[in-house]
């Protein structure tokens, strides 16, 4: 497979993982208010909300939960935090909102695993 073919496959896999993660969060009562929110500083895979709690969600498709959690490194956390700060600043009700940084791991042949508060800012 060529380099562009691998990138295309990874891109499709990422979209599929995000759709599955969004479904799992919606079934838990969250409303998806953003997907692939991009800024110059970084990208947020999913933004979900239930009342005044906003989840900034990183979606990882990996073989094991441990691999998914290990893939959220310090650089990833900083990038997500920076993008979240920009998103929050643009919200009219930002003073009421409480942010939480979660992970949804997409594992083979399993329902998505939601890990609340995978890191704090």
Using alpha carbons, list the distances in angstroms from residue 77 to 2, 19, 38, 39: 31, 22, 15, 15
Domain boundaries, the chain: 3-119
* Whole-number pLDDT of residue 78: 95
Contact between 64 and 107 under an 8 Å Cβ cutoff? The reply is yes
Convert the pLDDT of each residue in 11-29 to its tens digit.
788 889 999 999 999 999 9
Convert the pLDDT of each residue in 91-114 to its tens digit.
999 999 999 999 999 999 999 999
The pLDDT confidence band at residue 1, using thresholds 50, 70 and 90, is low
Convert the pLDDT of each residue in 63-97 to its tens digit.
999 999 999 999 999 999 999 999 999 999 999 99
* Whole-number pLDDT of residue 6: 81
Under CATH, which number does the domain 3-119 receive? 3.40.1350.10
Among positive and negative, which fits the CA dihedral 104, 110, 111, 116?
negative
pLDDT score of 33 more than 90: yes
Collect all residues with Cβ–Cβ distance below 8 Å to 81 and sequence separation of at least 6. Answer: 101, 121
């Amino acid at each position: 497979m060529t380099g562009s073919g691998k990138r295309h496959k990874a891109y499709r896999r990422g979209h599929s993982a995000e759709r599955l993660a969004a479904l799992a969060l919606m079934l838990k009562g969250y409303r998806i208010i953003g997907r692939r929110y991009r800024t110059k500083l970084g990208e947020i895979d999913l933004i979900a909300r239930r009342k005044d709690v906003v989840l900034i969600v990183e979606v990882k498709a990996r073989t094991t939960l441990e691999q998914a959690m290990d893939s959220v490194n310090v650089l990833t956390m900083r990038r997500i935090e920076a993008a979240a700060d920009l998103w929050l600043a643009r919200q009219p009700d930002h003073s009421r909102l409480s942010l939480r940084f979660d992970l949804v791991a997409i594992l083979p042949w399993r329902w998505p695993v939601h890990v609340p508060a995978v890191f704090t800012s």
